[in-house]
Each structure stands twice: as structure tokens, then as C-alpha cells.
Amino acid sequence: MIVALIGSPTRTNVDLAFAWRAVGVDARILWPHEALRVLGPEDVALTRLDVLPTLDGVEPGLELVDELERRGVRVLNRPPGMLAAHDKLVTRDRLVAAGLPHPCTAHILPGCRPDEVELPCVLKPRFGSWGQDVLRCRDREDLERGLELLSSRPWFRKQGALAQELVEPVDADVRLVVAGDRVVAAGRRSAGPSEWRTNVTLGGRVVRAELPDGTDVLALAAARALAIDFAGVDLLPVDGGWTILELNGAVDYDRRYTLPGLDPYAAILEGLRIPHRPSARGTLEEGIGKEVVMTKTAHGKPARPGDEIVIAGHSVGDAPKTAVILEVLGEPDHVRFRVRWEDGHESIFFPGEDAIIRRPEPKRRAKASA
Ligand SMILES: Nc1ncnc2c1ncn2[C@@H]1O[C@H](COP(=O)(O)OP(=O)(O)O)[C@@H](O)[C@H]1O
Ligand SMILES: [Mg+2]
């Protein structure tokens, strides 16, 4: 039985594949079209397609996942659930319909006057990620200025923006990771210096934490409401309780989110009912409340546009995956790249130990013929 992670070889996907192989699972990272070629009715496909760097949709290939399902592959994170998580407008509708707490959210169409928007609020894209283009507006002037700024974005012209009630105090939240009917990992996130958004891409820190009371029930209910099997659920504290900020269908995940007594990688397999050998790895009992720093370096750094990224094929699929760096984003200690993969699609890539960055040889100048 193959367990395929359908998506790019992101650091999280590579980590998942490695950890699952260590407990006897034939885990591979496959592009949707590769999955169609390789998978059959005895196999599992876990959709891990992310939003596009342009913040206006999902990486290509979701329709091929439908085809996998028609062929009898057991698909986890089915396309409707992925779309509900990636599109924050659909997330709102699903959570509200299920009676779950979610900050009040309005849709602002391009060209419309946002007279009804309650302040303070947060402006954000429907298909957002990495905290990109998420703006805090305290008053009408902020709002006008924010909309002015966003009106230059192609995603805004296509889909408008969401104006969401600002939940205060800002700058700390909790992320729970749900797999099937269990919470497999969690961590507290706090914003980096001079930042209010908690995204790790913006310098946010992750601290190991016990599950705050009541958060597990809420996270599981949120995943159920969206019909998603494996997702991150971000919660913000309100009035002694919690509200659901968003769900991440291609959640970035690592050992920083380990819960006491639980191997976070094996727990996902258990939650998703994927057979595997018992995990030999010890669980992490210590470290509650400590920040855990992850290595984010890659071989051959520092990288620059034009460099190539190679993810070796031994654990990720049939062939090595390669991409070219189009843009280096973020700050030096949490750098990320906008890359173009060999199939031509673009995504955001966080360097991990498994990524080799190489600089193509400069093309030899053709010798001038005499
Ligand atoms: N309504 C809100 N109230 C308080 N903080 C918010 C709100 N919306 C977003 N944030 C902050 O901004 C960050 C990014 O917003 P989020 O909606 O999660 O978008 P993204 O998908 O880009 O991560 C959150 O992690 C949180 O710290
Ligand atoms: Mg977020």
C-alpha cells in the first residue's frame, strides 16, 4: 500500500514522508498527475495542495484528485474539504452553519464602499497564507488606506477581500493539528518583535504547550464542519473561551507542535487509520513552554533567484523534484522562496535539510567563429 502526499515536496511533506517511512509506511510525495499513474484502489492519497503564491486559488491538480477517487483510491482531505479550508469565505460559511465560533467576517467586493464594515477589523485575502496581505485597520482612515493598497493586488481585483472583526488582544494564538478524530499536535504561537501577526513566516515563535481546556473539542468540530481529515486549526482566545480563526488544509507542521506523550507523526497515521508499525521513537515529555528552534538552512546557501532546488528522489516519489528560485522572500532567519517546479507551477517553498540548492553553471559564451 502506497500512502501518497499529493503536493509539492515542502519541508513538512518531506518530514511526514520520512517519519512515516520509519514506521514501515510506503510514503511518497507525488504530483497529482504522478499519483494518477501510480496509485490504485489499495492505496491512500492525502491531498496537500496549498494556496498559490498569488493568493488567488489552490495549486493545480485538485480535479485530478477527484479522478483518483473515482478510480477507488482512498482520498483523505478530499477536494471539497480542501477548498473549504483554503477559501476563508467558505470557511466562514461552514463554521457559521455548524454554529461554531468565528470572528464576524464580511466580503468586500472590488469597487464597493465598505461603509458597513465594523471597526477595528482585519483585511485579508480569501485564499491567504503566510500572513501575506493581512492588514489591521483600527479606524476608517486605516481601512481606506488598506483597501487602497490592496486594490493593486490581482487577487483583490478577482475576489475582493474579507473584512474580519479584530479579536483582541492580538499577537498570540494556539494551533491544533487534527488527524481524523483526534488532535495529534498543538503549540502556542506568538508574534515576532514589532509584529502583531503570529505567522512563523513573519518571525512568529512556536512554544510547546499543553492543550488548553476546551480547544480539542472545538478543533475537532471545526475539521468536521469543513469535512477535512488532516488540518491545522488556529484558535484565538476570547472572553475566557476560544474562537476559530482559520483552518489550514496544507498545514505546516514539525516537532515544535509535539504534545506531551504523543509522537506527532505516528499519531497522524493512527488518526487517519493508516496501518503502520509501532513507533520506536520516544515521545517528548519535557520542553513544555520552551521555544524550539528549527534549522532552516539548506546546503549551498545563500540562495538567490536563478538557483535550483533539488529534492532527492529516494523518499519523495519516483524521481527527484526540481525547482528554480524566482524570488527570495522573508527575513534572513526565516527565509522562503517563490519557486517554479518542473511542471511549470509556482509555490512557496521553505528550505529544509533535504533540499539541495545549487547554482547552475554560467552558460559558456559561444566561441566567436573566426
Ligand atoms: N480577526 C483577527 N483578529 C486577530 N488577529 C488576527 C485576525 N485575523 C488575523 N489575525 C492575525 O494575523 C495572522 C494571519 O491571519 P490569518 O487569517 O491566519 O491568515 P494567513 O492564512 O495568512 O495565516 C494570524 O495568525 C493572527 O495572528
Ligand atoms: Mg494563519
**DSSP track, 273-312:** T---PPP-SPP--S-TT-B-PPP---BTPSP-TT-EEEE-
Same domain, 183 and 234: yes
Same domain, 236 and 157: no
Supply the DSSP string of 75-116, one letter for each residue: EES-HHHHHHHH-HHHHHHHHHHTT-----EEEEPTT---TT
Same domain, 121 and 212: no
pLDDT digits (tens, 9 = 90+) for 294-329: 333 444 457 899 999 888 765 555 678 899 999 999
Confidence of residue 250 (pLDDT cuts 50, 70, 90): very high
Answer with the one of 123, 148, 165 that is the final residue of a domain.
165
Same domain, 160 and 183: no
On whether residue 319 sits in a domain, the answer given is yes
Model confidence at 75: pLDDT above 90: yes
Same domain, 128 and 47: no
More confident residue, 290 or 83: 83
On whether residue 94 sits in a domain, the answer given is no
On whether residue 276 sits in a domain, the answer given is no
pLDDT digits (tens, 9 = 90+) for 96-137: 999 999 999 999 999 888 888 999 999 999 999 999 999 999
Cell of residue 285, nine digits: 515529555
What is the 355 CA–ligand 1 centroid distance (Å)?
A: 29
pLDDT of the residue at 370:
41
Same domain, 145 and 175: no
On whether residue 366 sits in a domain, the answer given is no
The ligand 1 atom at the shortest distance from the C-alpha of residue 173 is: 27
pLDDT digits (tens, 9 = 90+) for 161-193: 999 999 998 778 999 999 999 999 999 999 998
Answer with the one of 165, 189, 215 that is the final residue of a domain.
165
| pTM to 2 decimal places | 0.91
On whether residue 364 sits in a domain, the answer given is no
Packing angle between helix 79-86 and helix 62-70, nearest 10 degrees?
160
For residue 117, how many C-alpha atoms fall within 13 Å in the half-sphere facing its CB?
A: 29
Model confidence at 286: pLDDT above 50: no
Answer with the one of 122, 137, 165 that is the final residue of a domain.
165
What is the 172 CA–ligand 2 centroid distance (Å)?
A: 12
Structural domains in the chain (count): 3
Range of the domain at 119: 104-165
Rounded Cα distance, 29 and 255, in Å: 20
On whether residue 343 sits in a domain, the answer given is yes
Same domain, 328 and 343: yes
Question: Does ligand 1 have an atom closer than 6 angstroms to the CB of 197?
Answer: yes
What is the 257 CA–ligand 2 centroid distance (Å)?
A: 15
What is the 134 CA–ligand 1 centroid distance (Å)?
A: 7
Question: Does ligand 1 have an atom closer than 6 angstroms to the CB of 155?
Answer: no
pLDDT digits (tens, 9 = 90+) for 10-59: 889 988 998 999 999 999 999 999 999 999 999 999 999 999 999 999 99
On whether residue 82 sits in a domain, the answer given is no
132: domain CATH number is: 3.30.1490
174: domain CATH number is: 3.30.470.20
